[in-house]
Structure formats: structure tokens, C-alpha cells
Structure 1
């Protein structure tokens, strides 16, 4: 069995925590908050660290294996936690991803499906792009017969402001290869993902 591992690391964006904290303090002060209050005195630093965490993907090793057993049925990880930040308002969106593929010559370490979702989620995003990035990346690195990604998420930019549509959930999907072209395979993917008939 041939095992391959590729180190996946985020590109260096030149983050500056000191400048971020100072900017957070200026931002909060400009909104009229009194940072001399005990509860708010450390908020700019906490805010800068929180956003740095939300916007920084962790590196991981993409581990793939020869498909020695010639397994040709659906592999799916359901309800992978998703948390990202809407690039329009920098407010979080939170939900789950269902990610599956039909193997060809290589299979993937199962935890890596969640790692790929996390890798693309930890940056300013829109859900549609995130869904497609995960699917395209798996298609490129794994070369399966098909890939399916569905993300269901609640967007705070929609529930806390503007329309204030609390409880509204956005669902996006990207299907590639056999999962897009073959109705039976597509139906199986949505059924196993627990999404009914699509």
C-alpha cells in the first residue's frame, strides 16, 4: 500500500497582532464604547485574537492511500462542523457540511474531510464559494469518480441585522463527476447525507 502525505499550510498573510489590537481599540472607541470600563479594558486584545483564530486555518497533512480493495461505493462524512466569517459583514456563519466522494485509485484519511472544510472556512467567506472550494480541492487532490459537498449554515449577518431572519438556514451544494451526472448516485448522496430527495 502506498501512503502519500502532503503538508497543507495557509499562506503567510503578514498578520500583526499589535496593530490589530490597536485597530480594534480605535474601532470600538469610534462606536462610542468606553474602553476604560473594567469589562471592556481587555476587549480589543480579545477581539483581535478571536478574529485571528477565526481567520487562520491550521496546517494539516493530507494523507491518501491506495484503494487496494477497489472500494467503489460512496464515502461520506456527515455533519462536519463549519464556522466561518461572512466577508461582507465579518459576522460568523455556523453550520454543518456533508462531504462525500466516490473513490477511484486513492482513498482519503477520514479526518481529512473535516480538515479540508476547516481549511477553507477559516477565512472571510461566502457560503457558495466555500462549498465549491471544498469540492474542487478534493476533486483536484484525490481525483475521485465524483465529489459532493452540501453546507447548511445560519448566518448572523442575516439573523442579527438587516432582515433579522432568525432561524433561516442557507443550504448550498456542489456536485462533481458521477455525483452530478448520474441521478441514482446523486440521489444516494443526498439520502445518505440525510437531505431527502433533491
Structure 2
């Protein structure tokens, strides 16, 4: 995995470029805080989705219904402006003899969200990783986020949500299964 090499002088130059005085009392520790924040916000580069997903076979052999987790927090940064975007994800899958620890789905979303992203890629990365490492019959992912690049600059439209989805395996051809997943994703 990659190592972050932040230079305090770069953050000081950035503050100067904005018209600020990096030696002003309120900004003296800002380069350290920014470095620490960006290490956390981009920690997903250091995570391996295969290591995040712990698979269980015990108890899942006979389970053949959808498993859905809703309202998984998403906090990421857009790769175009480095602006935050945030919202929730819903993940559903149809087991094929194996299940995954439920908390691992939240960790999987976080693994990809803590990288510079676009929402569309984040959605497909989560779905594809789950399909690859768990090998279920079907995977569905729905992500709904607000983007600060739209809300705080440019068009400045507050409160709009962007919704993306990825449907893999049996969710693609099976309309009944797809409808069931989407109903569960909405809370129905």
C-alpha cells in the first residue's frame, strides 16, 4: 500500500497562497491538523477489501434470502475538487452458502470511501469487491450522497442528492429479486 508523504512546508505555502499568514496564532498548528485529517480521510488506500471481508460458512448453507444493510455512512472526497461528499449506502446480497460479518459491509464501504472518489466508481467498487470475495448469487448497492462541490460552489444547490446503483449477478436479469432489493433498500 502507498505511504503518505506530506510536507508541512506545502501546507504553509497553501495557506499563504490563500492570502493567510501561516504564523497567525489560529493557523500555527493548521498544517499538522490538515496532515492528520488527510491521512484519515485517505486511509482507504491502505486497506485491502479482501482482508476487510471475513466470510463465514457456518449457518449460511441453507439461507437463500436477501441480506440487506441500510444507512451505512458514507464520507468521501471528490477527486475533481477534493470537496467532501457524504450520505448513505445500502448493500444487499443473496448468499451462495457463505455470509459475511455484518460490520464488514460497513468497513468495505469505508475502505473505498476513504479514497479520492467519484460516487459512481465508489458504488461499483463496493459491489464488485463483494461479488469477488464473497461470491454470492447477487449483489446490490445503492449510494445516496450530497456533494459539497455542488452545494458550496458552482451551481450552489443545497440539499440535492445523487443516487447511484450497481446490480450484479442474479439482480440483473431477475426483475422480482431486483424489485425486492430496491423495496428493502427504501425501507419497504
Q: Same fold (TM over 0.5)?
A: yes
Q: Tell me if 1:162 matches 2:149.
A: no
Aligned pairs for 1:22-33 (under 5 A) are: 22-33=9-20
Write 1 or 2 for the structure with the bigger share of strand: 1
**Offset from partner CA, 1:34-55 (integer Å, 9 cap, x none):** 1222111111111111111100
Aligned residue in 2 for 1:145: 137
Aligned residue in 2 for 1:62: 53
Q: Tell me if 1:80 matches 2:78.
A: no
Mapped to 2, the partners of 1:125 and 1:69 lie a distance apart of 36
Mapped to 2, the partners of 1:94 and 1:22 lie a distance apart of 30
Mapped to 1, the partners of 2:180 and 2:141 lie a distance apart of 13
Aligned pairs for 1:113-128 (under 5 A) are: 113-128=105-120
**Offset from partner CA, 1:80-127 (integer Å, 9 cap, x none):** 000011000111101100001000021111111111101111110000
Moved over 3 A (4+): 58-61
RMSD (CA atoms): 1.5
- Alpha carbons of structure 1 residues 154 and 68: separation in structure 2 relative to 1, 3 Å: closer
Q: Tell me if 1:71 matches 2:63.
A: yes
Q: What is the TM-score of this pair, normalised by structure 2?
A: 0.92
Mapped to 2, the partners of 1:36 and 1:163 lie a distance apart of 34
Q: Is the 8 A contact 2:52 2:107 kept in 1?
A: no
SS in 1 for 2:27: coil
SS in 2 for 1:131: helix
**Offset from partner CA, 1:166-196 (integer Å, 9 cap, x none):** 1111100000111121111111111111177
Mapped to 1, the partners of 2:129 and 2:60 lie a distance apart of 23
Q: Tell me if 1:174 matches 2:163.
A: no
Aligned pairs for 1:88-127 (under 5 A) are: 88-127=80-119
Write 1 or 2 for the structure with the bigger share of helix: 2
Q: Is the 8 A contact 2:141 2:165 kept in 1?
A: yes
SS in 1 for 2:43: coil
Number of aligned residue pairs: give it. Answer: 183
Q: Is the 8 A contact 2:61 2:96 kept in 1?
A: no
Q: Tell me if 1:193 matches 2:174.
A: no
Q: What is the TM-score of this pair, normalised by structure 1?
A: 0.88
